[in-house]
Amino acid sequence: MPETTDVAELREKLSRAAQLLFFRHHLQPGAKAWELRRALGRDYEQILKLLDAELEKLGLMVKRVSEGEEGSESDRYFITLRGHPKLADARTFGWRVDDMAMLTVAMAHVLSKGGKAPLKEVERILQEKFPRWRVESTIDRFIRRGYLSEDDQGVLYLGWRALAEVDQRTLLGLLLGKEKSEGAEAEREEANEEEKKMEEQPDRGR
Amino acid sequence: MPREHQELLQRIVELCDAVRKSGLDPFDVEVREFFDRLRELLPKLKTNEELYLDVQAVLGLADVIFQQGEWIKHKSSLLYLDPLLITLKLYALPARDLAEVLVRSWHPIIDLESLSLPAIREGLDYWRNLPALDERFKELGVTEVMTGEIARRELAKMGILSDEDLTALLDRTWRELKEAVGEKEFISYWKFIQGKSFEETVFRAWLVSFLVSYGYATLDINPLEEEINLKPLPKPQVLENVATFSVPIAISREEWLKRRRKHA
């Protein structure tokens, strides 16, 4: 009988952990370590491991992100995709190819400069490839959504969302290993045409 | 302070700022050499301004040392890749390839919007304070009042209109100012605005502010001597190529009484 009680308790904690991580309680999604400790008890990390194992079956994972010292109580836990989406999928959930390219350029430049770079410098690089009016508004959007952050000196950093969602080492590795794909321009034109069609139907995928 | 000393201090401060703000390689800064120069300079610094610049320079160099530490950490991490190589790739690859790089290193967060306790409380408060439908669309009770006439003198009494048109009033004050100045070029501001009562003084100061704003006169302020002189212009004009700024001049009853006693 005690074993059954333990299992029931564990299941309850597991579902509580899933609720805390799936449902947004604050401005940012996920939950902080101290919140999880308070809700699940001292062994919250074990519960999260169990949850991670359950989520693996669905292609999801529990991810821990440290903003300062590792192992701090302010570390935040999120649920993210275990793998990565396909380019076509990303477009259906509201991302334009150009936006994704701009985010790659901004993040890669910031990372190559040791984690920070002047906003003006990032804008200048982006303006080599994209129209100026789009660059400014898109960077603003990335800042609002937490992919980038800007301090009062006009210096850009990676934002909380980029730290949680993007595997920085993979990003830089892929970038360096990437060869210009054949017919990329043709594909780009095709993609632009498709995007234009999507824009004409604002209810779809936005 | 000799000019070259000041320049050296400022150069150090600016260089340290550039390292912090624009991501310059902190190892390009000769920290030790600059500290040696600052040590030589310190006994020669005398004023607060010089010492303040020195403090800024020392703080800046300390920050550069911190940046050097961070730079070493970054270079020794697996994330370090030649920035030039990265930049070249960013320029060379088309947008679609760049997007693919992001997508393949991307693990989007999954979350669901939900109502939080504070949001529910806020909603409840809103609902409780919301007036009933019939109250919300109730027409405003308006009593129709017929139009009528009111004399200009009555409006002046109520303070809505002045007895005199403002332009005419300004013109009269301008002529008065020119007469008061006479042969001289200017008159003391305080002397000109001084009236028989405090209210009249404030009123004249208000008129003078219009005279100056509309180009009928200029104010000449000597902050060291605490003098303000008023100079009428021969004809109203908008001064071009002249830096203009607002000057707040406080007039208190005590100040007015003091001046009145002085000139009595």
**Tens digit of each residue's pLDDT (9 = 90 or more) over A93-130:** 788 999 999 999 999 999 988 888 999 999 999 999 89
Query: In 3-state terms, what secondary structure has residue A52?
Result: helix
Percent of chain B scored above 70 by pLDDT?
A: 86
Q: What is the pTM of this model?
A: 0.56
For chain A, residues with pLDDT lower than 70 are 1-3, 68-71, 179-206
Calculate how close chain A gets to B107, using CA atoms only, in Å: 5
The answer to whether the beta carbons of residues B220 and B231 sit under 8 Å apart is yes
What does each C-alpha distance from A62 to A25, A76, A86, A169, B106 come to in angstroms? 17, 10, 20, 19, 14
Q: Given CB atoms, is A64 within the 8 Å cutoff of chain B?
A: no
Q: What are phi and psi of A100, to 5 degrees?
A: -65, -40
Architecture in CATH for domain A7-81:
Alpha-Beta Complex (3.90)
Q: Which residue of A has its CA nearest to B72?
A: A114
Strand order across the beta sheet in which A117-118 lies: A117-118, A155-158, A148-150
Across the interface, whether the CB atoms of A153 and B20 are under 8 A apart is answered: yes
Helix (H) or strand (E) holding B152: helix B152-157
For B84-111, the pLDDT digits (tens) are 888 888 999 999 999 999 999 999 999 8
Query: Chain A to chain B, count of Cβ pairs less than 8 Å apart?
Result: 174
> Tokens representing B160?
């809505």
ipTM: 0.83
* Shortest Cα distance, chain B CAs vs residue A93, angstroms: 11
* Min Cα–Cα distance to chain A from B128, Å: 24
pLDDT in tens, B4-40: 777 888 888 888 888 877 767 788 888 888 898 889 8
**Distance between CA atoms of residues A20 and A78, nearest Å:** 9
- DSSP letter string, B44-80: G--SHHHHHHHHHHHHHHHHHHHHHHHHHHHHHSTT-
Q: Are B88 and A66 in contact (CB under 8 A)?
A: no
d(CA B64, CA B26): 6
Q: What residue ranges do the domains of chain A occupy?
A: 7-81, 87-200
Give me the helices (H) in chain A, please.
Answer: 2-22, 33-40, 44-56, 87-92, 97-112, 119-127, 132-145, 160-165, 168-177, 184-200
Correct CATH for A87-200 of 1.20.1050.10, 2.40.50.140, 1.10.10.10, 3.40.1190.20: 1.10.10.10
Query: Looking at residue A206, what DSSP letter applies?
Result: -
Question: Residue B72 has what pLDDT?
Answer: 81
CA distance A5 to chain B (A): 30
Domains in chain B and their CATH numbers? 3-76 (no CATH), 166-263 (1.10.10.580)
Is some CB atom of chain B closer than 8 A to the CB atom of A94? no
Evaluate the CA torsion angle A147, A153, A155, A157 in order and state its sign: negative
Residues from chain B contacting residue A155 (CB–CB below 8 Å): 21, 23
- The shortest CB-CB distance from B101 to any of A78, A125, A171 is to A171
Answer whether A146's CB lies under 8 Å from A162's CB: yes
In terms of CA atoms, which chain A residue is nearest residue B119? A25
Q: Do B23 and A113 touch (CB under 8 A)?
A: yes
d(CA B64, CA B133): 66
Q: Is the pLDDT of residue B165 over 80?
A: no
C-beta atoms of B104 and A174 within 8 A: yes
For residue B133, pLDDT over 90 is answered with no
CA distance B75 to B235: 71
pLDDT value for B30: 85
